[in-house]
């Protein structure tokens, strides 16, 4: 658990780990140069399972890697300092990994909460590896602070790439998939994920989106390399259209989706909502993204009508 200036939420987060029904773990917390009372809050704990390290401000990704290096367990669990783990999170995930040696990364569904700890909505992630692989190039198909990863994955592939900043988890997950490791999401909410109005510097978020866009495009081009002799490969164009729609150019996504219709007119209904949205154009859609209006709309539809705008399915 890396920590940077989380004094308002830190105690609840730490308590949710120390009170887990599964008790055999080491809890590594790294303070990333906090300037508030975060370090004092951590130092007040006397639990022998808690190992506290202080660092200068190097960024969360650097501290992810620092923590993995310090860990001695065969399974690594991620946690953020403002989230709350359900009391049975570790027990559920450990039990699953013990019973499924073919799975190397296990996540879970989450509950989105606001800064006051009030529920906003539920978030259901795709369950099986095939669904997760389909979705991952477009947007993360696992909740990063809710995952457990077998240590052997890091030993073979290396750790998070700090050059990718906030997109480092997206890069890591696609690298893991590319190397044949299995994913699974437990269909229970095992984490309360805190959504905050001013959580991150927006310029860094924008850079993260650009990097995730390129990561997804490169992944699809790599896995379809040599397989596109048939230019009418609907699956490739549909996935590429989704990447453009969610992270890239709305105008490009429209062109790609129109190509999809030419390939298979049976899919018109599936992509009609993307085509309608694309009529707004890049400038207006990017403005809506920057002001988070689209994100708020997605939350509202999910909360009150149980409609998930990102609920796209494999072909």
Domain count, the chain: 2
Does the pLDDT of residue 70 top 60, yes or no?
A: yes
Residues 6+ apart with CB under 8 A from 89: 20, 108, 146, 190, 191
Question: In this structure, is residue 6 part of a structural domain?
Answer: yes
In a domain, residue 206? The reply is no
pLDDT at 205 over 70: no
Tokens at 295, concatenated = 């994100």
> 315 versus 163: which is more confidently predicted?
163
Residue 55 placed within a domain:
yes
- Asked which of 11-15, 146-150, 180-184, 289-293 is least confident by mean pLDDT, the reply is 289-293
Q: Please indicate whether residue 206 or residue 248 has the higher confidence score (pLDDT).
A: 248
Last residue of a domain, one of 179, 194, 209: 194
Q: Are residues 229 and 169 in the same domain?
A: no
How many Cβ atoms sit within 10 Å of the Cβ of residue 181?
Answer: 20
Is 91 inside any structural domain? yes
Do residues 20 and 91 touch, judged by C-beta distance below 8 A? yes
pLDDT at 91 over 60: yes
How far, rounded to the nearest angstrom, does the alpha carbon of residue 68 sit from its chain's CA centroid?
18
Least Cα distance to 59 among 143, 131, 161 occurs for: 161
Q: Are 166 and 87 in a shared domain?
A: yes
Query: Which range has the top average pLDDT, 79-83, 193-197, 302-306?
Result: 79-83
State whether 6 and 99 are in the same domain.
yes
**Contact present, 141 and 131 (Cβ < 8 Å):** yes
pLDDT of residue 201 exceeding 60? no
Residue 141 has what DSSP assignment? S
Q: Are 157 and 235 members of one domain?
A: no
Look-up of token digits 């095992």:
190
Shared domain check, 59 and 166:
yes
Q: Does the pLDDT value for residue 315 go beyond 70?
A: no
Tokens of 121: 């909505």
- Segment 227-239 shows an average pLDDT of 72
Within this chain, do residues 249 and 183 fall inside the same structural domain, yes or no? no
Task: Confirm whether 168 is domain-assigned.
Answer: yes
Q: pLDDT (tens digit, 9 = 90+) per residue, 14-69?
A: 999 999 999 999 999 999 999 999 999 999 999 999 999 999 999 999 999 999 99
Domain of 63, CATH number, reads 3.90.550.10
Q: What is the mean pLDDT of residues 69-78?
A: 97
Q: What percent of the chain has pLDDT over 70?
A: 86
Mark whether 50 and 185 lie in a shared domain: yes
Q: Is the pLDDT of residue 10 over 90?
A: yes
User: Using CA atoms, how far apart are residues 93 and 190, in angstroms rounded to an integer?
Assistant: 9
pLDDT for 233 equals 77
Q: Is the dihedral of CA 264, 222, 147, 206 positive or negative?
A: negative
Residues of the chain with pLDDT > 90, as a percent, come to 69
> Angle formed by the axes of helices 268-278 and 250-263, to 10°?
160
Q: Do 22 and 141 share a domain, yes or no?
A: yes
Q: Are residues 52 and 143 in the same domain?
A: yes
Residue 95 lies in a domain: yes
pLDDT tens column, 99-150: 999 999 999 999 999 999 999 889 999 999 999 999 999 999 999 999 999 9
17 & 79 share domain: yes
243, 220 in Cβ contact below 8 A? yes
Q: In sequence order, what are the beta bridge partners of 32?
A: 55
User: Same domain, yes or no, for 119 and 255?
Assistant: no
Q: Domain of 255? A: 224-305
Where is pLDDT greater, at 69 or 227? 69
Q: Which of 205, 202, 210, 141 is nearest to 177 (CA)?
A: 141
Mean pLDDT of 258-279: 81
Of 194, 212, 238, which one is at a domain's C-terminal end? 194
Q: Is residue 208 part of a domain?
A: no
User: Are residue 90 and residue 163 in the same domain, yes or no?
Assistant: yes
Residue at 203 is within a domain: no
Whole-number Cα distances in Å, 97 to 10, 36, 110? 28, 37, 19
């Amino acid at each position: 658990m890396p920590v940077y200036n989380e004094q308002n939420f830190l105690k609840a987060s730490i308590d949710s780990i120390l009170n887990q029904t599964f008790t055999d773990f080491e809890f590594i917390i790294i303070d990333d140069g906090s300037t508030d009372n975060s370090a004092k809050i951590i130092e007040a704990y006397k639990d022998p399972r808690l190992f506290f390290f202080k660092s200068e401000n190097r960024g969360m990704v650097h501290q992810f890697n620092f923590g993995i290096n310090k860990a001695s367990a065969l399974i690594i669990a991620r946690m953020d300092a403002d989230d709350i783990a359900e009391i049975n999170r570790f027990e559920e995930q450990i039990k699953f990994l013990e019973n499924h040696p073919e799975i190397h990364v296990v996540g879970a569904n989450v509950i989105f909460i606001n800064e006051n700890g009030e529920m906003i909505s539920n978030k259901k992630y795709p369950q099986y590896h095939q669904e997760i692989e389909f979705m991952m190039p477009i947007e993360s198909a696992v909740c990063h602070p809710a995952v457990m990863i077998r240590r052997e994955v890091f030993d073979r592939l290396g750790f998070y790439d700090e050059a990718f900043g906030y997109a480092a988890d997206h890069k890591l997950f696609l690298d893991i998939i590319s190397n044949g490791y299995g994913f699974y999401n437990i269909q229970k909410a095992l984490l309360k994920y805190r959504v905050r109005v001013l959580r991150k510097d927006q310029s860094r978020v924008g850079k993260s989106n650009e990097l995730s866009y390129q990561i997804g495009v490169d992944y699809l081009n790599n896995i379809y390399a040599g397989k596109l002799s048939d230019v009418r490969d609907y699956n490739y164009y549909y996935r590429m259209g989704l990447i453009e729609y969610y992270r890239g150019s709305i105008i490009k996504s429209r062109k790609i989706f129109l190509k999809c219709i030419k390939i298979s007119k049976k899919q018109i209904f599936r992509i009609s909502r993307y085509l309608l949205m694309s009529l707004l154009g890049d400038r207006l859609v990017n403005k809506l993204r920057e002001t988070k209006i689209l994100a708020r709309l997605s939350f509202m539809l999910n909360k009150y009508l149980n409609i998930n705008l990102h609920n796209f399915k494999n072909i």
